[in-house]
Structure 1
Amino acid sequence: MFTSANVTVTVADLKKAVQFYTETLGLKLQGEMDDHFVQIEAPGLTIGLLHLTGERNAQSAKSESMSIGFVVQDLEAAIKTLKSHGVKFHDYVEGKAAQVVHFNDPDGNTLYLVSDH
């Protein structure tokens, strides 16, 4: 039924967000729809970055109701790489089946790395 998946994240500064997702996270810029929307290619997922204008922008650019996870084979290596780009981590969780560590994009959207045991 489904052929692919995507998620759209609202951002306050599109240029800064594109830089974070491409340069810091190492994801690929897939395409620019217009001055307010771009698509970023992640493994198995397309992430849309949407810059809202006017009143809607400031409040909409921060979300605590969703998060994007990235599966990694070597959690410590991934943390080290992202820390070298200035990423700050929080909420390290050691679960029975996986290890998870959270961080935020420049707009405060929650992202996380997960590694199976």
Structure 2
Amino acid sequence: MELRICIDVDDMARAVVFYTQGLGLQVGRRLGDDWVEVLGAGSPIDLLLEASGSVPAKGSTRNYQRHWTPVHLDFVVPDLDAAVARLQGFGAVLEAPATERAWGRIAGLADPFGHGLDLLEFKGRGYDELLQPSA
């Protein structure tokens, strides 16, 4: 099974710059003016051009102001502070400054289209730092 991540945006050029130059991903394919595949993460990301106010599902409309959903993306980066600064330069909003965790550091941001994302910088064994050391 393959997982593909789809992100609706209202400005394709800005989205491509944000996800490629901001996160270091690469354009895989342009599948028309309204669909760009971005590669370099664990799963392909499809940027889909959808107008603000259009209807994605009965009873709702697309809104590219900051919105919350229980699904978000985590990107593991080698230098959290540099990645936060770079993404802010491309329009991200820092919502939760970097904090230390047992497994590394995390910062919460919103992309220019209102989607939440976290940046993670692992230390040591990453999430495995939460497990008991192997005997």
TM-score range, shorter chain: 0.7 to 0.9
Aligned position for 2:44: 46
> Is the 2:111–2:117 Cα contact (8 Å) retained in structure 1?
yes
Farther-moved stretch of structure 1 (68-77 vs 83-92): 83-92
- Percent identity over the alignment is 28
Q: Within 2, Cα distance between the matches of 1:88 and 1:102?
A: 9
SS in 2 for 1:45: coil
Find out whether 1:100 has 2:100 as its counterpart. Answer: no
Q: Which amino acid aligns with 1:26?
A: G
Cα distance, 1:61 vs structure 2:
5.0
Superposition pairs of residues 19-30 of structure 1, within 5 angstroms: 19-30=17-28
Which structure has greater strand proportion? Answer: 1
> Is the 1:67–1:109 Cα contact (8 Å) retained in structure 2?
yes
Task: List runs of 5+ in structure 1 lacking aligned partners.
Answer: none
Q: Within 2, Cα distance between the matches of 1:49 and 1:42?
A: 14
> Is the 1:12–1:61 Cα contact (8 Å) retained in structure 2?
no
Aligned length: 115
Q: Which runs of 4+ in 1 moved over 6 A?
A: none
Aligned Cα root-mean-square deviation (Å) = 2.5
SS in 2 for 1:60: coil
Farther-moved stretch of structure 1 (38-47 vs 81-90): 81-90
Task: List runs of 5+ in structure 2 lacking aligned partners.
Answer: 124-135
Find out whether 1:12 has 2:16 as its counterpart. Answer: no
Q: Which amino acid aligns with 1:113?
A: L
Cα distance, 1:75 vs structure 2:
1.7
Aligned position for 1:77: 82
**Structure 1 length as normaliser, TM-score?**
0.77
Structure 1 or 2, whichever has the larger Rg, is 2
